[in-house]
Amino acid sequence: MTQDLQIEIISTDKISPELDKQIDQLDHLAFADEKHDDPEFNSIDWSSHIEYMALGRVDNELVTLLGLLKREILVGKKPVWVAGVGGVATHPSWQKRGFSSTLLNVAEKFMREEMKVPFGLLVCADERRSFYGRAGWKLIADKLFFIQNGERRSLKTSVMILPLSTEVWPSGEIDLRGLPW
Ligand SMILES: CC(C)(COP(=O)(O)OP(=O)(O)OC[C@H]1O[C@@H](n2cnc3c(N)ncnc32)[C@H](O)[C@@H]1OP(=O)(O)O)[C@@H](O)C(=O)NCCC(=O)NCCS
């Protein structure tokens, strides 16, 4: 039942300290049991330059969220603008009701119409591919490159894109040119 879900997309500079606390609490609960195959994973700094948060509430309680940022990355030799989607999470007590899928749908419209980028891009664990696949995301790589403290590093992960225009994804390795999200 998703009809009770109230969704807003808010610029992160408008987030109050109280809301920030609620977001942190939900993140900690949702990601508490997260495990990673890549041993490098725990040494990665994730980008803190999130520009927007998509938030879903039921009766004023924050139950689902995701973060969005805009970045020009490199694919092969071609610069490509993407909307990065990260921190996708639903409170454990509210999972499997379609809330995150609904939020992803609303975020898709926002990425296309407000962020005006040709693609969304996210990384996820292999077992989440089908979840994002049902929301229109396509697997395009099992590895990407990023920069942390001036060092170019690689991450083995499922890399998925969401086509938002008729633009075709170029071939070549993916370089986020900064921290991952
Ligand atoms: C991944 C996550 C965000 C999904 O949130 P969610 O709100 O439960 O997502 P949805 O309800 O839209 O879909 C989840 C599943 O429930 C199913 N579902 C949706 N509505 C349902 C319903 N009414 N009854 C039963 N199942 C339902 C979906 O088909 C989906 O199945 P799948 O996992 O096999 O793909 C959530 O599990 C979570 O926070 N996980 C921990 C953090 C994490 O791993 N985030 C992803 C980082 S990439």
Q: Has residue 3 got a pLDDT over 80?
A: no
The residue nearest atom 28 of ligand 1, judged by CA position, is 96
Do 140 and 100 meet the contact criterion of CB atoms below 8 Å apart?
Answer: no
Mean pLDDT of 46-62: 97
What is the model's pLDDT at position 73? 98
pLDDT tens digits, residue range 118-157? 999 999 999 999 999 999 999 999 999 999 999 999 999 9
What is the model's pLDDT at position 147? 97
> Does residue 181 have its Cβ closer than 6 Å to ligand 1?
no
Number of the ligand 1 atom closest to the C-alpha atom of 87: 47
CA of 35 to the centre of ligand 1 (A): 17
Q: What is the mean pLDDT of the chain?
A: 95
**Residue 42: pLDDT band with limits 50, 70, 90:** confident
**Residue 34: pLDDT band with limits 50, 70, 90:** confident
Q: Which CATH superfamily groups domain 6-175?
A: Gcn5-related N-acetyltransferase (GNAT) (3.40.630.30)
> Does residue 31 have its Cβ closer than 6 Å to ligand 1?
yes
What is the model's pLDDT at position 2? 52
**Residue 41: pLDDT band with limits 50, 70, 90:** confident
Do 161 and 119 meet the contact criterion of CB atoms below 8 Å apart?
Answer: yes
> Does residue 138 have its Cβ closer than 6 Å to ligand 1?
no
Q: What are phi and psi of 48, to 5 degrees?
A: -100, 5
Q: Has residue 1 got a pLDDT over 70?
A: no
* CA 57 – CA 77 distance, rounded (Å): 41
What is the model's pLDDT at position 166? 96
What percentage of the chain exceeds 70 in pLDDT?
96
Number of the ligand 1 atom closest to the C-alpha atom of 123: 48
The two beta strands, 174-175 and 78-90, are: unpaired
> Does residue 99 have its Cβ closer than 6 Å to ligand 1?
yes
Q: Has residue 37 got a pLDDT over 70?
A: no
Per-residue DSSP letter, 180 = -
Q: Has residue 61 got a pLDDT over 90?
A: yes
pLDDT tens digits, residue range 72-101? 999 999 999 999 999 999 999 999 999 999
